[in-house]
Structure 1
Amino acid sequence: MDGELWDVTDADGIPTGRTHRRGDPDFPAGMFHIVASVCVVRGDGLVLMTRRAETKDFPLDWEFPAGSALTGETSAEAAVRELAEEAGVRVGADEVVVVGRLTERTALFDLYVAAVAGDPALTLDPEEVCESAWVPLAEALRRAAAGEMAAPWVRRLERFGPRLAELVESRGA
């Protein structure tokens, strides 16, 4: 959301002591902010995908719940907060397993996996998400390759796909 305050980090994700307000121009050159996401896997091996609201960038594209870390938050804390806000699924920051980090233009993107029991009830935030689906990971990868996921996800899943598949398989059925 516009107005969020982010820590500005160096290339290693270490906060510099500076902050940047989302939506403000002139993000500091050569600096980054943390963006984190969680691929949630149920016991049956299906993963949660959410579809971006029509009013957001990349409208109606699919993704895994994600968002920027707020000032003072760790990457894992941001990932679980975004998951709770966007889909109503609650897991602890100590329950997520890191898949990897990808350096993007102004962001350090961290992807995590979290296992959940049963079929958790979802509460979608209509300002963020218009639809959700539990799908096999292969379907998420297909959607990325077919251009049905938000554009940044294509590179992310190309990079993380094999490791993500290992972690999803080890946490699912």
Structure 2
Amino acid sequence: MTAMGAGGEWWDLTDAAGNRLGRTHPRADPDLPHGTFHIVAATWAVGPDGRLLVAQRAATKTFPLEWEFPAGSALAGESSRDAAARELGEEAGIQVDPAHLRPVGRSHERTQLVDIYVVHLDAAVDPVPQPEEVAASEWVTLAEVDRRRREALFARPWLNRLDLFWRELADAVAAAPGGRPS
């Protein structure tokens, strides 16, 4: 079955280590077989001034109007890195070469393994949000990300991920030419 076969999108099933099991699962079915996972890929896009791209979820999605980083499920046959680049393009209109995405870490969640990548952009880019997915996008400082995190303005899954990878996020911002450590 292809990633966009009859009935919508399909995911590769993996084990807890992210190894593909040679089986797919329709996205429309929320019940993954016990002990299996699917891959979600997210990108921290860091501008040359050290600001981070955040997106506000569309009002029609779960966690409506809450903030997150561009992310989405890897489709069947797609690598995590390719999915991260695709989602950044789809949700923010920012095209990057998947080879430029640097892995940050993986969050093990109930039915998904969330791979987080960082990409440092050489130039400021105006995001073009995809209205079905994103209500708004903006470039913010690490301090603003932290304020929204403390005020629980990020979608609940992102609150946990930010807690888990806060030091890595701060390091990614500091690595930008105009980034500031915090």
Given the two structures, how large is their TM-score scaled by the length of structure 1? Answer: 0.95
RMSD: 1.4
Partner of 1:98: 103
Structure 2 gaps of 5+ residues are none
Partner of 1:120: 125
User: Displacement, 1:171?
Assistant: 2.5
Q: 2:22 aligns with which of 17, 23, 39?
A: 17
Whether the 8 Å contact between 1:113 and 1:168 is mirrored in structure 2 is no
Q: Deviations over 1:151-172 (max 9, x none)?
A: 1001100000001211221134
Q: 1:157 aligns with which of 150, 158, 162?
A: 162
Secondary structure of 1:171 counterpart: coil
Partner of 2:147: 142
Given the two structures, how large is their TM-score scaled by the length of structure 2? Answer: 0.91
Whether the 8 Å contact between 2:46 and 2:172 is mirrored in structure 1 is no
Partner of 1:43: 48
User: Displacement, 1:25?
Assistant: 4.2
Q: 1:67 aligns with which of 72, 86, 97?
A: 72
Whether the 8 Å contact between 2:85 and 2:95 is mirrored in structure 1 is yes
Q: Separation in 2 of the partners of 1:141 and 1:72? A: 35
Q: Separation in 1 of the partners of 2:164 and 2:28? A: 28
Partner AA of 1:9 in structure 2:
T
Report sequence identity in percent: 51
Q: Deviations over 1:47-98 (max 9, x none)?
A: 0001000001110000000000000111111001000000000111110111
Shift >3 Å, 4+ stretches? none
**How many equivalent residue pairs?**
173
Q: Separation in 2 of the partners of 1:158 and 1:123? A: 28
Secondary structure of 2:169 counterpart: helix
Structure 1 gaps of 5+ residues are none
